[in-house]
Chains A and B, each alone.
Chain A
């Protein structure tokens, strides 16, 4: 009898799965709070967020809870209203990017290995999507805003176009996986067309991974919206929006008046972190 000598091959320790239901719910709490702020926040705003309501550069935690910015606008009111704006933009982006992802990803995945014109088209679209992934968002944003003006719709379209390729590729990967499953052949033998098959079996079985990625896209959309606002190709001032608030407040921060930039930045960070935590909670569901 031989006693196995301890040859332990170092393997990367798998990340511990989140098993507890409670932990999963707790991870979703920050996201719920952020959404709540977006819903009721604007109603709680003490002042009109686009009007000068006091002297510029007032310190926070006094008469103005979060101070006033260099133009004399109320920072708290602006952060609250901006939360709704930025969240709505990101939400619309997530929905649009996911819808595009499902349609294009399924169309590519189901057809790319086909012979004939449909296969050629699917492969061409796939290449095009890959190409698009390489286009920087800022350039797309600059061009689009220059052409169409800085409206919520333009922003949503621009950011969705930039982020949709991620969902397209994810859906395609899932579709390629599901396409090889034996039950698809069985569905084919039940007389379903390829389109019906996709809707009935392929997309529902791809949805898990796609929905888990939605918070990730959301976080990216929040950051991109703010980035475009920061460089001045977002919504026109003085529309409350985190990015433009941060950029406007940044010059004050250099002179010690940190609040006009810090509070919108904090809102941004908390939102992105909340989205990330929600993503973790969703992924843990399947583990």
Chain B
């Protein structure tokens, strides 16, 4: 188990400039994520969850504010080669599966092994062993790795996308709707695997989802987002049983009678 990560989000905000002027997708947010915590970031469509998550991961440039990982400014870090290696070794993000999650011209093994070689400095042999371990962890048959991405089902491809992120053993994994496109039984399996990863490696997780139940199952705390701002956050138990914000109450009510009720 590596040193637990500390992520500090400070006044982080993003505007998009569109045809009808400036639009604030994320209003200056401040919070921290500690190693070992699993945060469910929930909220309605368009509330800015993906934008916030992408800025935290370092894939989107903030308009305002900073993200520090272990005390270092992420966007400054990403400007140098050494900084990129350091950052992406610590932080990885997986998004909802699309057919373009993988380069159609390369094998899946190549895609999964590359980050291990480049970021962890493994040799090809070591990287391939690491790939096999990771695939086994995600219950993926190693034989599938020699296929082309287009040969796989959406669910298999999504697991490979997770493998590509987990192969470097990140200390923060950001998951944006990683299971939304999968059927419910597979959703549970994958979320549990991710929870196990977090427990085993002490990694922090950020699960972005507009669905409450599945996220709440595997999270330690919840953040509820609305119109670009986090309106409520806290341990899953307290947010679910005693929601403070009317919007959260509305969200919880919508899920009454679902597995969420069992979870709490």
Q: How far is the CA of A193 from the CA of B103 in the complex (A)?
A: 17
Q: How far is the CA of A256 from the CA of B150 in the complex (A)?
A: 62
The one of A183, A191, A192, A193 in contact with B100, judged by C-beta atoms closer than 8 angstroms, is A183
Asked whether, in the complex, the Cβ of A183 is within 8 Å of the Cβ of B119, the reply is no
Tell yes or no: A9 within 8 A of B by CB: no
Tell yes or no: B114 within 8 A of A by CB: yes
Interface of A is mostly: helix
Chain B residues within an 8 Å CB radius of A193? 81, 84
Asked whether, in the complex, the Cβ of B164 is within 8 Å of the Cβ of A182, the reply is no
Asked whether, in the complex, the Cβ of A201 is within 8 Å of the Cβ of B118, the reply is no
Chain A residues within an 8 Å CB radius of B105? 204-205
Asked whether, in the complex, the Cβ of B85 is within 8 Å of the Cβ of A191, the reply is yes
Tell yes or no: B192 within 8 A of A by CB: no
Asked whether, in the complex, the Cβ of B101 is within 8 Å of the Cβ of A191, the reply is no
Proximity string of chain A (65-94) to chain B, C-beta cutoff 8 Å, 1 when within and 0 when not: 000000000000000000000000000000
Tell yes or no: B185 within 8 A of A by CB: no
Asked whether, in the complex, the Cβ of A190 is within 8 Å of the Cβ of B119, the reply is yes
Tell yes or no: B95 within 8 A of A by CB: yes
The one of A188, A189, A191, A201 in contact with B103, judged by C-beta atoms closer than 8 angstroms, is A201
With contacts A191-B85, A191-B88, A191-B115 taken as known, whether A185 is within 8 angstroms of B59 at the C-beta atoms is: yes
B102 → chain A closest CB, angstroms: 5
Asked whether, in the complex, the Cβ of A183 is within 8 Å of the Cβ of B111, the reply is yes
Interface positions, chain A 177-200, Cβ under 8 Å from B, are 181-183, 185-193
The one of B98, B102, B114 in contact with A190, judged by C-beta atoms closer than 8 angstroms, is B114
Proximity string of chain B (80-94) to chain A, C-beta cutoff 8 Å, 1 when within and 0 when not: 010011001000110
Number of A-B contacts (CB under 8 A): 48
- The residue on A at minimum CB distance from B149 is A183
Asked whether, in the complex, the Cβ of A186 is within 8 Å of the Cβ of B118, the reply is no
Tell yes or no: B259 within 8 A of A by CB: no
The one of B88, B100, B102, B104 in contact with A189, judged by C-beta atoms closer than 8 angstroms, is B88
Asked whether, in the complex, the Cβ of B59 is within 8 Å of the Cβ of A188, the reply is yes
Q: How far is the CA of A154 from the CA of B164 in the complex (A)?
A: 51
Q: How far is the CA of A188 from the CA of B164 in the complex (A)?
A: 12
A254 → chain B closest CB, angstroms: 56
Interface centre among B92, B93, B115 (most CB of A within 10 A): B115
Asked whether, in the complex, the Cβ of B93 is within 8 Å of the Cβ of A189, the reply is yes
B83 → chain A closest CB, angstroms: 10
- The residue on B at minimum CB distance from A185 is B59
Chain A residues within an 8 Å CB radius of B119? 190-191
Q: Can you sample 26 A-B contacts with CB below 8 Å?
A: A181-B103, A182-B98, A183-B101, A183-B102, A183-B103, A183-B111, A185-B59, A185-B95, A186-B102, A186-B161, A186-B164, A187-B103, A187-B114, A188-B59, A189-B88, A189-B93, A189-B115, A189-B165, A190-B119, A191-B84, A191-B85, A191-B115, A193-B84, A201-B103, A205-B103, A205-B105
Q: Which residues of A contact B (CB under 8 A)?
A: 181-183, 185-193, 201, 204-205
Q: Would you list the 4 A-B pairs with minimal beta carbon distance, nearest first?
A: A181-B100, A190-B115, A183-B103, A191-B84
